[in-house]
Chains A and B, each alone.
Chain A
Amino acid sequence: MSDELEKLYQSTYTAVVRFLYRKVWDAERAEDLAQEVFVRALAHRPDKPRAWVFAVAANLARDEARAAVRRKRHLTLLKDDPIAQPTVSPAADDTVEHDEQMASVQEALNTLTPRDREILLLWDAGLSYPEIAAQTGLAVGAVGTTLARARRRLVDAHDRQQKQARDNAAHS
Chain B
Amino acid sequence: MRHIPEDELHAYLDQGLSRSQCVEIESHLAGCSSCRATRDGIAALRDRTTALLAKLAPPRRFPPAFETLRGQAARRVTSRRRRLRVAAWAASLVAALGLGWTASTMVGPGRATSVATHTMPPVADAPATSIRTGSAEVKPPAPARAVKRAFRDDSIRAAKLAVLDPAPALQLAPVEEPRPDAGEQFDGMWRTVSWDGAQSEAGQSLPHIDGLPVLRVQVQANDQGKRPLMVVAQQLSSGQVIQTIEGPASDVSELLNRRNATSSDGGLSVTISDAAPAADQAMAMQMGDRMLAITGALPSDSLRAMIRRINAEMRSK
Contacts and interface: CB of A to CB of B under 8 A. Distances in A.
Interface of A: 2, 6, 9-10, 13-14, 17-18, 21-22, 27, 30-31, 33, 35-36, 38-40, 42-43, 46, 52, 55-56, 58-60, 63-64, 66, 98, 101-102, 105-106, 108-109, 120-121, 123-124, 128-129, 135-137, 140, 143-145, 147-148, 151-152, 154-155, 158
Contacts of B70: 2, 42
Nearest to A133: B16
B223 A17 contact: no
Contacts of B15: 128
A143 B8 CA distance: 10
Of the listed residues B8, B58, B74, the one surrounded by the most CB atoms of chain A closer than 10 A to its CB is B58
Contacts of A158: 52
B7 A145 contact: yes
Interface in B49-81: 49-50, 52-53, 55-61, 63-64, 66, 69-70, 72-74, 76-77
18 contacts: A6-B66, A31-B63, A36-B225, A39-B76, A43-B77, A55-B289, A64-B225, A66-B203, A105-B53, A124-B49, A124-B50, A124-B53, A144-B16, A145-B7, A148-B6, A151-B10, A151-B45, A155-B52
B85 interface: no
A124 B54 CA distance: 9
Contacts of B8: 144
Interface in B1-41: 6-8, 10-11, 14-16
A46 B46 CA distance: 32
B53 A14 contact: no
B45 A13 contact: no
Of the listed residues B59, B69, B73, the one surrounded by the most CB atoms of chain A closer than 10 A to its CB is B69
Given A39-B73, A59-B227, 15 more contacts: A17-B58, A18-B56, A18-B58, A30-B58, A36-B223, A42-B69, A42-B70, A42-B72, A59-B226, A60-B225, A60-B226, A102-B56, A120-B53, A144-B11, A152-B45
Interface of B: 6-8, 10-11, 14-16, 42, 45-46, 48-50, 52-53, 55-61, 63-64, 66, 69-70, 72-74, 76-77, 203, 223, 225-227, 248, 250, 286, 288-289
Contact of A63 (B52, B58, B226): B226
A11 to B, nearest CB: 11
A70 to B, nearest CB: 9
Given A144-B8, A144-B11, A147-B10, A154 B52 contact: yes
A9 B10 contact: no
A2 B289 CA distance: 25
Contacts of A66: 203
A21 B56 contact: yes
B175 to A, nearest CB: 35
Contacts of B42: 148
A155 B43 CA distance: 13
A123 B14 contact: yes
Contacts of B49: 120, 124, 151, 154-155
Contacts of A109: 53, 56
Of the listed residues A43, A46, A58, A152, the one surrounded by the most CB atoms of chain B closer than 10 A to its CB is A43
